Amino acid sequence: MNALTRLANAAANAVAEVGVRHDWTRDEVQAFFDLPFNDLIFQAQIVHRRHFNPNEVQKSTLLSIKTGGCPEDCGYCSQSSKFETGLKASKLMEVQRVIAEAQRAKEAGASRYCMGAAWRSPKDRDMDKICAMVEGVKSLGMETCMTLGMLSDEQAVRLKEAGLDYYNHNVDTSEEYYKEIISTRTFADRLDTLDRVRNAGINVCSGGIVGMGEEESDRVGMLMALANLPEHPQSVPINMLVPINGTRLGNSEMIDPIDFVRTIAAARIMMPLSVVRLSAGRENMSEETQALCFLAGANSIFIGEKLLTTKNPEQNKDERLFAKLGLEPMPAHACPSAV
């Protein structure tokens, strides 16, 4: 056994003994990425089976409740006003329409309903409608999630009072690479919003995007930033970049699928109680790649024809894949670390 394998095994064993860690070192995380692939998957499966049913996968649906016109310049995003992508901006949807869409998602098998608005941050005048959406979706018996940009303390408290279960705010990439992707806010701004959400008592949903031209060391840094937070995000979406014409990253090359699976596996080991979501990019993944992601510890997906503005696999494709792999939907409120 070489020194690399010993370090990775020791790090994984520490998870088994301690349960949750917030003191990951760069060398430890890099060791996971450098392990032989079979060894990494084996370690991830051990952790996954300790805390979750390995054959259950959460089904979520994501709806764009306010599309386009965002003043941020995120290099991957079709909704940024800085890019010409052909996307038409729209106003905030009406509450009853959102609730009706949530009902359809529930009937299609979703247990969590996520609502996203293309804002830098929500305006206080919109909070009444936002909170009514949360209350309406929650009344259907679904988990609720919102992603609205940066929040104030008061807005976070209002969302908590409305019954919001999760707030999504991705760190996107490593702190070092962040400025290459976004210039209109900082990595620290991201962490500040996560603090506000956590302090309000809302579950955190935070992950990132891979395949944006970053180095492997940036994937290491992104996972370290998430796993060394005071509390692990209860949901960790790992997105594969979907290049969109007109955006700054529109000509990016697809990340190697095995490198993507390694990121999923490392996230599972480092954040053992979190739901790890195989998120954007599934439309371009083979069934074999998705199966490897589930084997590596991913246990959440988005269902529905769209993820905000990008394509997602059709429902019958997901149903066939679940049947092939013997997977079942995870019940609502099954995340062991959720508050």
Active site residues: 70, 74, 77, 114, 145, 205, 277
Give the CA dihedral 141, 143, 148, 151, nearest 10 degrees: 110
Burial tier of 46 (Cβ tally within 10 Å: 0-12, 13-18, 19+)? middle
Nearest in space to 63 (alpha carbons), one of 11, 117, 110: 117
Q: Is 249 helix (H, G, I), strand (E, B) or coil?
A: coil
Q: How many CA atoms lie within 13 A of 298 on its CB side?
A: 24
Record the tokens describing residue 98, joined without a space: 């959102």
> How many CB atoms lie under 10 A from the CB of residue 17?
7
Q: What is the DSSP string of 253-313?
A: PPPPHHHHHHHHHHHHHHSTTSEEEE-TTGGGS-HHHHHHHHHTT--EEE-SSEETTEE--
Burial tier of 339 (Cβ tally within 10 Å: 0-12, 13-18, 19+)? exposed
Give the CA dihedral 126, 237, 270, 43, nearest 10 degrees: 160
Record the tokens describing residue 175, joined without a space: 């702190």
Paired with 145 in beta bridges are 114, 166
Length, in residues, of the chain: 339
Sign of the alpha-carbon torsion through 209, 210, 213, 217: positive
Paired with 172 in beta bridges are 208
